[in-house]
Structure 1
Amino acid sequence: MRIGLQLGYWGAAPPPNAEELVLEAEGAGFDSVFAAESWGSDAFTPLAWWGSRTRRVRLGTSVAQVAARTPASCAMHALTLDHLSGGRCVLGLGVSGPQVVEGWYGAPFAKPLARTREYVSIVRQVLAREAPVRNDGAHYRLPYDGPGSIGLGKPLRPITHPLRADLPIWLGAEGPRNVAQTAEIADGWIAVYYSPRVAGMYEDWLAEGFARPGARRSRAEFEVAATCQVVVTDDPAAERAKLKPSLALYIGGMGAPGMNFHAELFRRMDYGEVVDDVVRLFGEGRREEAVAAVPDEVVDDVAIIGDAEVVRTRVAEWEKAGVDTLLVGCRETGHIRSVSAALGLGG
Structure 2
Amino acid sequence: MRLGLNLGYWQRHPNDATDLVLAAERLGYDSVWTAEAYGSDAFTPLAWYGARTSRIKLGTSVAQLSARPPVTTAMTAMTLDHLTGGRLLLGVGASGPQVVEGWYGQPFARPLARTREYVEIMRRVWRREEPVTSDGPHYPLPLPGGLGKPLRLITHPLRPDIPVYLGAEGPKNVALATEVAQGWLPLFTFPSKIEEMYGDALAARGPDFDIAAMVMVVISDDVRAALDGVKLMLTLYIGGMGARHRNFHADIMGRMGYAEAAERIQALYLAGRKGEAFQAIPDELADGIALVGPPERIKERLELWRASPVTSLLVMGPRDEEQLAVIRDLVLG
Q: TM-score range by the shorter chain?
A: over 0.9
Matched residue, 1:291: 278
**2:72 paired residue number:** 73
| Map of 2:311 onto structure 1 | 324
Residue among 176, 181, 189 paired with 2:176? 181
Q: Identify unmatched segments of 5+ residues in structure 2.
A: none
Partner of 2:200: 204
Are 1:231 and 1:339, in contact at CA under 8 Å, matched by a contact in 2? Answer: no
The normalised TM-score by structure 1 is 0.92
Give 1:312 shift: 2.6
Cα deviation code 1:33-66 (max 9, x no counterpart): 0000011211001000122111111100000000
The question of 1:340 aligning with 2:333 is answered no
The worse-fitting range, judged by mean Cα deviation, of 43-52 and 228-237 is 228-237
Residue type matched to 2:12 in 1? A
**Secondary structure, in 3 states, of the residue corresponding to 2:98?**
helix
Pairwise CA distance, 1:120: 0.3
Displacement of 1:30 in angstroms is: 1.1
Offset at 1:230? Answer: 2.1
The answer to whether the 8 Å contact 2:218/2:318 transfers is: no
1:4·1:326 contact (CA, 8 Å) conserved in 2?
Answer: yes
Quote the Cα distance in structure 2 between the aligned partners of 1:313 and 1:83: 41
| Superposition pairs of residues 253-264 of structure 1, within 5 angstroms | 253-264=240-251
* Matches of 1:322 and 1:344, distance apart in 2: 17
Shift of 1:344: 4.4
Aligned residues: 331
Instruction: Give the aligned partner of residue 83 of structure 1.
Output: 82
Q: Does the alignment pair 1:308 with 2:284?
A: no
Letter in 2 for 1:112: P
SS of the aligned residue for 2:200 comes to helix
Give the ranges of 4+ consecutive aligned residues of structure 1 lying more than 6 Å apart after TM superposition.
Answer: none
Q: Deviations over 1:74-101 (max 9, x none)?
A: 0001011101110100000000111111
Helix, strand or coil at the partner of 1:156: coil
The SS at the match of 1:231 is strand
Partner of 1:2: 2
1:273 equivalent in structure 2: 260
- Which whole-Å CA distance do the structure 1 matches of 2:90 and 2:245 have between them? 30
Unaligned runs of 5+ in 1: 211-217
How large is the Cα RMSD of the aligned pairs?
Answer: 1.4
* Cα distance change, pair 317–173 in 1 and its aligned pair in 2 (3 A): same
User: What is the CA deviation profile of residues 249-306 of structure 1, one whole-angstrom value per residue up to 9, with x for unaligned ones?
Assistant: 1111111011000000000011012112211210110111111111210111100123
SS in 1 for 2:306: helix
